[in-house]
Amino acid sequence: MTAITTCTTPRSELWSRFAVLVALLSLAACTSAPVRTPGPQKPGGYYLDDGPGDNPPANLDQIPDAQPRVEPIKASTARPYTVFGQTYVPMAQVAPYKARGTASWYGKRYHGQPTSSGEIYDMYAMTAAHPTLPIPSFVRVTNLRNAKSVVVRVNDRGPFHSDRLIDLSYAAAYKLGIINHGSDLVEVQAIVPVGQRQTTAPVSGTAPAEVASEPPVQEPTGAYVQLGAFSTRQNAQSFLLRMRAQLGWVGDKVALYGREGLYRVHAGPYASRDEATQVAERIEQATELRPVIILR
């Protein structure tokens, strides 16, 4: 008699696979672009099924940087989205931005596939993916290891790793000397083209709105729900407009206040801490934010 051995997958593993599939489908519904998922990596820094193309152009060093210009922001890429349990709130306008972090790159695995902007990814063009910068927008990326610098056009979302700041195209990574290292510490600085108006992308079908004048310094007395705090007024204004569109039931209670270089988006005032707490709980359920109660 021949013994027959069966193998079953634990229920917990099935649910884990299902949760990842739901996350991927959720992002695809928002951007219709492939998600760069974690996986085994080769020493060169790319995934096993990714990497450089078989016949890269001979003139990679001569590929020109992206040329900053005024372009309308794609509204569909300015909506909050969630990947692998992490919620991202994109900037809805071109504004000053500077950050340091790890840059990685992606190549043939996504070459020829649609990006979050709807454009086709070209690994030999000077482009990049970022979780929250406006799409499209332009940034200067400087490799802090060798001081090399390039200008790229952000037209995709990613990388969805907590330890990475930006995903570069193969060409951009090549010019920065990152290819052989797989990743490097970089500085990313936004470029605001001459003539770029400080306006937000349309949210939920609304028209673009101009950035308001300097906000009030102090809130009236009462209890407030703080939704967010920002170091730049432009980012705070963009977030304010998004919250007003998303939290229509709060009405005109969502406002912007600025003091000592910090811009805060608050809902209120409310008559008591209890009332503000109830509103905060409802906002948390609707947005996945973590509001803070402020008493004035």
Query: And the tokens for 72?
Result: 């309308």
pLDDT of residue 49: 56
Instruction: Give the helix ranges, DSSP H, for the chain.
Output: 11-31, 170-175, 233-246, 273-287
Close Cβ partners of 205 (under 8 Å, ≥ 6 residues apart):
none
Closest CA to 124 of 166, 171, 168: 171
| CB-based burial label for 80 (10 Å; 0-12, 13-18, 19+) | middle
Domains and CATH numbers, the chain: 44-52+59-191 (2.40.40.10), 223-295 (3.30.70.1070)
* Long-range contacts (CB closer than 8 Å, 24 or more residues apart) made by 55-61: 56/124, 56/170, 57/124, 60/124, 60/171, 60/174, 60/175, 61/174, 61/175
Quick: pLDDT tens for 213-245.
Answer: 567 877 888 999 999 888 887 788 878 877 877
Quick: pLDDT tens for 14-60.
Answer: 444 554 444 444 444 444 444 555 444 444 455 545 666 667 777 88
Percent of residues, the chain, with pLDDT higher than 90: 33
**Cβ atoms of residues 269 and 238 within 8 Å:** no
Strands 98-106 and 166-169: parallel
Q: Is the pLDDT of residue 141 over 60?
A: yes
